[in-house]
Amino acid sequence: MRKSFAILLILTLASGGARLATAAELQVFAAASLSDALQELAAGYEKSSGDKILLNLAASSTLARQIQEGAPADLFLSADEEKMDGLEKRHLLLAGTRRSVLSNTLVVVVSADSTVKIAAPADLVAKVRVLALAEPQSVPAGIYAKHYLKAQKLWDRLIDRVVPTENVRAALAAVEAGNADAGIVYKTDAGNSRKVRIAYEVARSEGPKISYPFAVVANTQQPDAARRFLTFLESPAALEVFRKYGFLLAGGS
């Protein structure tokens, strides 16, 4: 009796130990706009792989800054190439792991109960008193929006009406709460919110090139697990999830 119990115990510990030997905890620093898609993907990945995914979601500029200061990140999923360039220049990325995976579309949103009709860029000048954008000096969504408005020659006229926010989700929240008349966010953000509706979509030809590069951070303590997760994010199954949330694939549909 005691002997079979002992064997059972050892087998259990061995199998558990085998799992423990490979299970990793990954810190994933990701752009705020990826929140919903990543949460779904992470939950699925944890079940199938046994690794634990900890998401740090914020503006890419904030995350890049944190990584520069030595924050313990394993992966960085950025909303623009510029932030990734900054880290690469400082040799903070694991060589060969950087790749551009996703793209997105800009949209102009208004509150779901707004009666204001905005169908074209000119309407922004005519009808919007407070325009919410992610901080246009540093946050990718804001930089993209500013490029767009500059290309439309509207930036100078709108700059006094701009309320810059911490990240793109905060801009969305401002429109939802009615504190901003309109906002420029990603199509993926608008799709997730019932409290805003899309006034119009920025055509790809008129908008800036949006690109989401992913990479493994050089200081990672578990490069193998990190690479595995990155590969997963590029897999057809994961891309399907991203597409479901409204993301485009890099360089195309």
Partner 1 sequence: MNAAEWQVVGFTLRVSAFAILLILPPGLAIAWLLARFRWPGKSLAETLIALPLVLPPVATGLLLLKLLGRRGALGAFLHDRLGLDVVFTWRGVVVAMAVMSLPLLVRGARVAFEGVDPRLEQIARTLGATDVRVFLTITLPLARNGILGGTLLAFARALGEFGATILVAGNIPGRTSTLALSIYQLVQLGKDGEAFRLLGISAAIAFAAVWASERFLARRGPR
3-state secondary structure of 9: helix
Beta pairing class for 196-201 and 106-111: antiparallel
Q: What is the smallest separation between the CB atom of 179 and partner 1, expressed in angstroms?
A: 5
128 three-state secondary structure: coil
Q: How far is the CB of 130 from partner 1 (least distance, A)?
A: 7
The reply to whether 130 sits near partner 1 by the rule CB under 8 A is yes
8 A C-beta contact, residue 73 and residue 67: yes
Q: Does 135 interact with partner 1 (rule: CB under 8 A)?
A: yes
- For 87-124, the three-class secondary structure string (H helix, E strand, C coil) is HHHCCCECCCCCEEEEECCEEEEEECCCCCCCCCHHHH
191 binds partner 1, rule: CB under 8 A = no
CA 126 vs. chain centroid, Å, equals: 31
Cα of first residue to Cα of last residue in the chain, in angstroms, is: 64
Q: What residues numbered 47-66 form the site for partner 1, per CB under 8 A?
A: 61-62, 65
Min. distance of Cβ 63 from partner 1 in angstroms?
Answer: 11
Q: In the complex with partner 1, which residue's Cβ is closer, 29 or 245?
A: 29
Output the smallest distance, CB 64 to partner 1, in A.
Answer: 9
Is residue 189 close enough to count as binding partner 1 by CB under 8 A? no
Dump the DSSP string for 197-222. Answer: EEEEEPPTTTSPPP-EEEEEBTT-S-
CA–CA separation, 129 and 175 (whole Å): 12
| Residue whose CB is less far from partner 1, 41 or 173 | 173
CA distance 32 to 59: 6
Please tell me whether residue 177 binds partner 1 under the rule CB under 8 A.
Answer: yes
* Smallest distance from partner 1 to CB 141, Å: 14
Closest contact distance (angstroms) between CB of 228 and partner 1 is 32
Q: Return the residue of 16, 17, 50, 178 that touches partner 1, per CB under 8 A.
A: 178
Binding test (CB under 8 A) with partner 1, winner from 36, 40, 46, 166:
166
Q: Which residues bind partner 1 (CB under 8 A)?
A: 61-62, 65, 68, 130, 135, 137-138, 162-166, 174, 177-180
